[in-house]
Structure 1
Amino acid sequence: MNPSQKRPVVYAGDVVVDHAAANSEPVGVSLGEDHVPTPREKVHEVLRVFKEVFTQLDREKQARRGGDLYEATARIDLKTQVFLEKEGKHVNTPNRIGQVPGIEVGDEFQYKAELRVVGLHFRTMSGIDYVEVEGVKLATSIVSSERYDFDDKFDADVAIYTGEGGNVISKEKKAEDQKMIKGNLALANSMKHKREVRVIRGGERWDGKGKHYVYTGLYLVDKYWLEKGVSGKSVYKFKLCRIPGQPPLP
């Protein structure tokens, strides 16, 4: 599908499936015995299975309400991710730098767990994903947010991204200055080695019901600096510029 075309987004929870469908056989696209699924078809199939499994687990969760508190409140998206990975129903592994097969600019997702099962962003609990190449940490992707706590910004083809660490958004831990380690170091190294970084923009859904994530393409880290964050502690800021020649942003 042309990424510039407006296409409807179906979120997990909107699809009704039975238990058998949620536990179906390994991922495949039914287009004839001789058909070899394209990377795009594989991604669509993984997301379809994700939604089916999510819906079934959500039904079971609703049925358990009033019973075991943990089971009734457990993160269904993460449980769905674990199920798919256990059954081998995920694509584009291991993590990589650059474009991910089957993913297009403008693709939307409701959960970070979906980003993981299609190979777009693997560290669901962190905004910066990275790999180590010959002993050097290099960023593969970031998930940006425009929440007040982060103060990330998008302006045309430029993204200003707040680094990780320092407990800057935790209400239970004391805020600290961010350090040039882990994901922050990976972004700095990506700038030094001129390696592209995938950017996923997080924000509120159009209907106000939770978040969604939009893949905006490949960027290069232009520069970074330290400044005082909203917590009063020092945070790293990274300026990323979108690589020309990609499909337009939605």
Structure 2
Amino acid sequence: MDRARKRPIVYAIRDFPPGCGTAPSNVPDKDHFKNPRTSDDVVVENQSPDHSDADSEPSGASLIEEQKFRTSKHDRGLKQESPLPSSYHGRVLGASKHKGSCSKQEPESQHSDHVVAAPPTPREKVLEVLRAFKDVYRELDRNKQARRGGDSFDATARIDIKAQAFLESEGRHVNTEKRIGQVPGVNIGDEFQYKTELRLVGLHFKTMGGIDYMEVGGVKYATCIVASEGYGYNDKFDAGVVIYTGEGGNVISKHENKTEDQKMLKGNLALANSMRHKTEVRVIRGMERWDGKGKRYVYDGLYLVDKYWLEKGVSGKSMYKFKLCKIPGQPR
């Protein structure tokens, strides 16, 4: 080949920009690689305008991405090839998330200071009503002036009836609808001092009558009876059997008190219907108090009316007798 036609050799001095070499610099890092044809160093500007420091921890990265970031910092001294093009270097891989959001969140209840209390059980509701009754009763009992002053009703009214009326006006009573069978929250053996307490917990609604009943489809059914034995009472108890005397027959008027035959009406009819349809009747035993002052009332469980009949009383008038038998399997 003719030497005169050889390509002239050109010598160039390359002026490297700041940031190259091993000396520290404040200029952002740049990607570079060798040109395979010329063996020249080619410098490529980092194309991420939003991130000047590729080593800064990404605030919006997910947990997996955060682990990758920490691994890349740990292995910084090793020469590795990135699987991504150089144009992606320095960019946050995970989308920014709002505070508290992540791909898998723990249940809020595990980290929340706010604890939602469980609703009270029927038993707890009954006990709370009885506690409230005692509190109101004591307050009325302490207020002697309120009991003695005012109109004639205020002067003579029983404190337990006042306490019952107050609690009902405040909506502080439970089991407000009549029902046949067991009453939620009331256990066999529960003891009460006043009939008004029986009403407040939904066990027996009549504070003056012994037979409580309700009407279903035009038919009266007994729901509960209060049976008492002893002086002045004709009811009898014997090993899960109650002989109950029907209601009525005592006529009290302004001018005279007299007795007459009992009739198959109201509570007596309700007990007879309960026998025919075999519906449960709650039985409450009226017993003498431990201090001998009045009666106490003990819930004895569910009974079925076995039979009824008429018999002559001491006054010579007819009265109904009902035999009720306790349903087996109940606590004693």
TM > 0.5: yes
Post-superposition shift, 1:168? 7.2
Give the direction of change, closer, same or farther, for the CA distance of 1:43–1:235 in structure 2 (3 Å limit).
same
Distance 1:197 1:239 in 2: 12
Match of 1:75 in 2: 158
Distance 2:188 2:290 in 1: 18
From 97, 117, 120, the counterpart of 1:37: 120
Give the direction of change, closer, same or farther, for the CA distance of 1:172–1:109 in structure 2 (3 Å limit).
farther
Post-superposition shift, 1:59? 1.7
1:205 aligned partner, one-letter code: R
The answer to whether the 8 Å contact 1:223/1:240 transfers is yes
From 109, 130, 134, the counterpart of 1:51: 134
The answer to whether the 8 Å contact 1:149/1:168 transfers is no
Gaps of 5+ in 2: 1-114
Structure 1 segment 1-250 matched on structure 2, within 5 A: 33-60=116-143, 62-64=144-146, 67-68=149-150, 69-167=152-250, 172-248=256-332
The answer to whether the 8 Å contact 1:168/1:231 transfers is no
Higher relative contact order (CA 8 A, sep 6+): 1
Distance 1:65 1:189 in 2: 43
Give the direction of change, closer, same or farther, for the CA distance of 1:133–1:119 in structure 2 (3 Å limit).
same
Look up the SS of the partner of 2:316 in the other structure: coil
The answer to whether the 8 Å contact 2:160/2:194 transfers is yes
How many residues are matched? 216
Distance 1:101 1:169 in 2: 37
Post-superposition shift, 1:65? 5.8
Distance 2:247 2:148 in 1: 37
Post-superposition shift, 1:36? 1.2
1:227 aligned partner, one-letter code: E
1:119 aligned partner, one-letter code: G
Post-superposition shift, 1:169? 8.9
Distance 1:181 1:128 in 2: 11
1:56 aligned partner, one-letter code: E
The answer to whether the 8 Å contact 2:283/2:303 transfers is yes
Post-superposition shift, 1:164? 0.3
The answer to whether the 8 Å contact 1:222/1:240 transfers is yes
RMSD (Å), alpha carbons: 1.8
Distance 2:166 2:236 in 1: 34
Post-superposition shift, 1:74? 0.9
Distance 2:307 2:204 in 1: 22
1:228 aligned partner, one-letter code: K
Post-superposition shift, 1:207? 1.5
Give the direction of change, closer, same or farther, for the CA distance of 1:56–1:153 in structure 2 (3 Å limit).
same
1:189 aligned partner, one-letter code: N
Post-superposition shift, 1:64? 4.1
Distance 1:209 1:191 in 2: 35
TM-score of the superposed pair, with normalisation by structure 2: 0.62
Gaps of 5+ in 1: 1-31
1:152 aligned partner, one-letter code: D
The answer to whether the 8 Å contact 1:200/1:215 transfers is yes
Look up the SS of the partner of 1:225 in the other structure: strand
The answer to whether the 8 Å contact 1:225/1:238 transfers is yes
1:86 aligned partner, one-letter code: S
Identity %: 74
Give the direction of change, closer, same or farther, for the CA distance of 1:207–1:35 in structure 2 (3 Å limit).
same
Post-superposition shift, 1:138? 0.1
Look up the SS of the partner of 2:119 in the other structure: coil
Look up the SS of the partner of 1:83 in the other structure: helix
Give the direction of change, closer, same or farther, for the CA distance of 1:148–1:176 in structure 2 (3 Å limit).
farther
TM-score of the superposed pair, with normalisation by structure 1: 0.82
Deviation string, structure 1 residues 35-76 (Cα, Å, up to 9, x no partner): 21111100000000011111111222x224654453232111
1:42 aligned partner, one-letter code: K
2:187 aligned partner, one-letter code: E
Distance 1:234 1:149 in 2: 17
